[in-house]
Amino acid sequence: MGSLQRDPAPTSPRSPGVWVGVDVAKAALHICAIDTGGHVLWSRRVENTEAAITQVIGEVTGPRRRRRVQWAVDMTSGATALLITLLLAARQPVAYVPGRLVSRIASGIAGGAAKTDARDARTIAEIARMRTDLQPVTPADLTIAELRVLLSHRDDLLTEWVAGINRLRQQLAAIFPALEREFDYSSRSGLILLTAYQTPAPLRRKHATDRLAAHLRRHGAHGVNPGGVTAMAQRAVAAARSQRITLPAEKLTAELIARRAQRLLELRDEIAALTTRIEMLFTGHRWAAILTSVPGIGTLLGARFLVETGGDLRARFATETSLAAYAGLTPVPRASGTMLASVRRPVRYNRYLRKLFYLAALGAIRQPEGPSRVYYDRKRQEGKVHAQALLCLSRQMCRVVWALLRDNRVYSAAAPLRLAR
């Protein structure tokens, strides 16, 4: 690696003298360093291994280097985990540059159509040099790191679950539409039924009701209300009696339905076990009691809040307004030329965090006499539609959560935090 050149003028001890941008790939990193004038000091490709990254950090920040270094990355998960961990362990400041910002700026300079790792690394370094409001990357708490992995895996399983249920209903409707309309197949009982019966013929046989009821009980089905397992079996048999014809590819489709139903039962149990593990891990965090004390926020939403905020509000968000803006709960101004100033919904924000506060608000208004319901009703009386009133409540809940975490206290219904208008 080439040696760093001298800057033409001394820099402030508080500001960096070298900015290092890192474009991350799976197998390698491209690292580019620039000085205060934007001149490239060096640019090269480095293997994404501990030895190679440690060597680069040592060369950039060695004992002979008197200038402060600011590192910048355009992603903070996946292949960047090793790099960020090593940089933070070496007490190096790391800033996050949004990938969309890198793309837009790169397209606006000379040769914008070009796309190389070296070019992206330099763009990241340039943005870090010009901007002082970039979000710092802080060390990950072990609990939060584990919660991030578990929540990500749970999201993947839920995606598979929803796709599986939709495909199951589609296949069942193709050969037995009456049975598809009869039950909710996101329930355990409905899936247990389909592991044994997928076509009308077996359900039209003598004593089919008793056999189906016995199958459901044997596999732990709880039936449907009212009537329980017996009523569920009777409804399935009644649906079978309404169809006498055999539809095309019925036997093959039935086999696929049985296999998919069994897989969905296993997936359902896996999601439940994973949820329990997330809840146990979350309850050990210092913020768990505070977050779950807020009406509408349970363990899953609380765990999501920890993951999306990093568990350190002061380090990542200077004020409560910054947190609300990050969650997309504050409107952004829009004015240009002769167009009157107005506000609109932001385009770039953390969608997980926005959804979190929206779901929390939705759960909080279920308490008829609670302050959240009172606030929601007041907004509806002011002429706001349901979605607008929920968004206003989400914004107020963000204030409440910030205040509780700042003061390190739990929410109390006896002395609730006053919600502003």
Unique residue bearing structure tokens 């002429």: 383
Sheet strand arrangement including 40-47: 40-47, 28-34, 18-24, 69-73, 94-96, 135-136
146-279 adopts what CATH topology?
A: Helix Hairpins (1.10.287)
Q: Residue 116: what pLDDT?
A: 84
Question: Residue 421: exposed, middle, or buried by beta-carbon count in 10 A (0-12, 13-18, 19+)?
Answer: exposed
Note the pLDDT of residue 343.
65
In tens, the pLDDT along 260-317 reads 999 999 999 999 999 999 999 999 999 999 999 999 999 999 999 999 988 888 777 8
- Rounded Cα distance between 154 and 167, Å, is 20
pLDDT on residue 169? 96
Q: Enumerate long-range contacts of 174-181, CB under 8 Å, 24 or more apart.
A: 174/247, 174/249, 174/253, 175/199, 175/247, 175/249, 175/250, 175/253, 175/254, 175/257, 176/200, 176/239, 176/240, 176/243, 176/247, 177/243, 178/239, 178/240, 178/242, 178/243, 179/236, 179/239, 179/240, 181/239
**Architecture of the domain spanning 18-137:** 2-Layer Sandwich (3.30)
Give pLDDT, residue 13.
44
Portions of the chain given CATH number 1.10.287: 146-279
Q: Hunting for tokens 């008793």 — which residue is that?
A: 210
> What is the structure's pLDDT at 172?
96
Could you report the per-residue pLDDT of 65-90, keeping only the tens digit for each? Answer: 667 899 999 888 778 888 999 999 88
State residue 15's pLDDT score.
Answer: 63
pLDDT, position 341:
56
pLDDT, averaged per 10 consecutive residues of the chain (421 residues), comes to: 42 68 86 90 90 90 75 85 89 87 72 75 90 81 89 96 96 94 92 94 92 92 78 93 91 96 96 96 93 94 92 82 89 66 71 93 90 92 92 93 92 61 48
The SS3 assignment for 342 reads strand
Residue spans in the chain of domains classed CATH 3.30.420.10:
18-137
Residue 6 has a pLDDT of 40
Q: Where are the alpha helices (DSSP H) in 176-222?
A: 177-182, 188-196, 200-203, 208-218
pLDDT at 227: 75
